[in-house]
């Protein structure tokens, strides 16, 4: 599943290429799974909408829209295998395309998702919801060290599972939780509430550093992920533990171990992490 750096890369790429454009019409496929909002509501919101900005909130791509005097948002969650691509109208339409937005510039925005775990929804700004979509948890790139530490206070769940809890931090996934815990020297099974202030400060710094490095390299392409131009990322070349089972740790030469935490494959160095 694309995590924060991958979604940030895609959103930035989309923003650079479609901000300022207008959606002239929308085609939606017949599969019901990708549509979190009713098809008629999605079509009504997107038809004729001006794209003000594309950005990321958590693991979601958010299109800020203007429709006359009304504001709305198109929310795209990529799920396991979703792709949001910009295509020429005469380009072949992939088999698992579930939505096509025709733009005034002549291009098309296409949502492709073979596994159909991705979701499309729309949110209208109103007096009850003036800020629109805000995401389920705190933003990892901007949260303060104090607020970060407070998220894990007295929690008995493993710190790896807590990092993956999107209601606490939205955007951190399996790859970057493993990499951050390695940088901070913390074992994934440690109870979140057992971490000291010093350890939490190290983890806060590690999370932000790893995410920023990954964004700079376009994310990690370890499965289906490509950006809005169809290009792969390069951060997988910098992974220190994730996906390196039995390979030597770059720091101490101890073989990397793999275990399961909260049902997720988890990688760590038994010597560097305690």
Q: Which of 3, 8, 179, 199 is catalytic?
A: 3
25 plus 74 within the same structural domain: yes
State mean pLDDT over 178-206: 97
Instruction: Return the ∠ at Cα 62 (arms to 61 and 63), rounded to 5°.
Output: 125
Q: Are 256 and 246 in contact (CB under 8 A)?
A: yes
214 in a structural domain: yes
Q: Which of 102, 114, 264, 270 is catalytic?
A: 264
248 plus 168 within the same structural domain: yes
Q: Is-catalytic flag, 231?
A: no
18 plus 111 within the same structural domain: yes
Q: Are 203 and 186 in contact (CB under 8 A)?
A: yes
159 plus 241 within the same structural domain: yes
39 plus 154 within the same structural domain: no
Torsion from C-alpha of 231, 17, 136, 78, nearest 10 degrees: -40
State mean pLDDT over 209-213: 92
Q: Is-catalytic flag, 59?
A: yes
pLDDT of residue 208: 97
Give me the percent of the chain exceeding a pLDDT of 70. Answer: 91
98 plus 157 within the same structural domain: no
Per DSSP, the chain holds a count of helices (H) and strands (E) of 6, 10
pLDDT of residue 229: 57
State mean pLDDT over 237-266: 93
pLDDT of residue 220: 64
117 plus 160 within the same structural domain: no
155 plus 221 within the same structural domain: yes
CA 2 to chain centre: 5
Helix (H, G, I), strand (E, B) or coil at 271: coil
Q: Is-catalytic flag, 3?
A: yes
Tokens (6 digits) for 155: 């929690």
How far apart are the two ends of the chain, measured CA to CA in Å? 28
172 plus 79 within the same structural domain: no
35 in a structural domain: yes
CA distance 9 to 115: 21
Instruction: Return the ∠ at Cα 59 (arms to 56 and 65), rounded to 5°.
Output: 40
State the total domains in the chain: 2
The pLDDT tens digits of the residues spanning 142-168 come to 999 999 999 999 999 999 999 999 999
Domain boundary among 124, 155, 184: 124
CA distance 107 to 131: 29
Per the prediction, the chain carries an average pLDDT of 91
What range does the domain containing 172 cover? 145-268
Q: Is-catalytic flag, 264?
A: yes
The pLDDT tens digits of the residues spanning 81-96 come to 899 999 999 999 999 9
CATH code for the domain of 156: 1.10.8.50
201 plus 150 within the same structural domain: yes
110 in a structural domain: yes
pLDDT band at residue 238 under the 50/70/90 scheme: confident
Q: Are 145 and 152 in contact (CB under 8 A)?
A: no
CA distance 267 to 160: 10
What's the burial of 133, exposed, middle or buried (CB within 10 Å: 0-12/13-18/19+)? middle
Q: Which of 56, 59, 110, 187 is catalytic?
A: 59
pLDDT of residue 217: 83
105 in a structural domain: yes
pLDDT band at residue 218 under the 50/70/90 scheme: confident
130 in a structural domain: no
53 plus 151 within the same structural domain: no
CATH code for the domain of 67: 3.20.190.10
103 in a structural domain: yes
């Amino acid at each position: 599943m694309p995590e924060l750096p991958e979604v940030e890369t895609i959103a930035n790429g989309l923003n650079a290429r479609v901000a300022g454009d207008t959606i002239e019409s929308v085609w939606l496929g017949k599969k019901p799974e990708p549509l979190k909002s009713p098809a008629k509501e999605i079509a009504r919101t997107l038809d004729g909408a001006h794209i003000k900005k594309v950005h990321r909130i958590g693991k979601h791509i958010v299109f800020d829209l203007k429709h006359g005097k009304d504001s709305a948002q198109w929310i795209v969650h990529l799920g396991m295998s979703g792709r949001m691509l910009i295509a020429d109208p005469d380009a072949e339409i992939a088999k698992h395309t579930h939505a096509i937005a025709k733009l005034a510039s002549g291009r098309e925005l296409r949502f492709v998702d073979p596994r159909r775990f991705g979701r499309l929804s729309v949110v209208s700004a109103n007096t009850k919801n003036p800020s629109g979509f805000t995401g389920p948890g705190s933003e990892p790139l901007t949260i303060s060290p104090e607020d970060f530490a407070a998220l894990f206070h007295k929690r008995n769940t493993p710190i790896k599972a807590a990092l993956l809890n999107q209601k606490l931090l939205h955007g951190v996934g399996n790859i970057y939780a493993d990499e951050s815990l390695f940088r901070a020297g913390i074992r994934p099974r440690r109870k979140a509430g057992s971490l000291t202030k010093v350890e939490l400060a190290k983890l806060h710094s590690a999370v932000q550093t790893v995410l920023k490095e990954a964004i700079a390299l376009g994310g990690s392409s370890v499965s289906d992920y490509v950006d809005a131009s169809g290009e792969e990322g390069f951060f997988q070349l910098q992974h220190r533990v994730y996906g390196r089972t039995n390979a030597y740790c770059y720091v101490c030469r101890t073989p990397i171990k793999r275990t399961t935490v909260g049902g997720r494959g988890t990688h760590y160095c038994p010597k560097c992490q305690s």
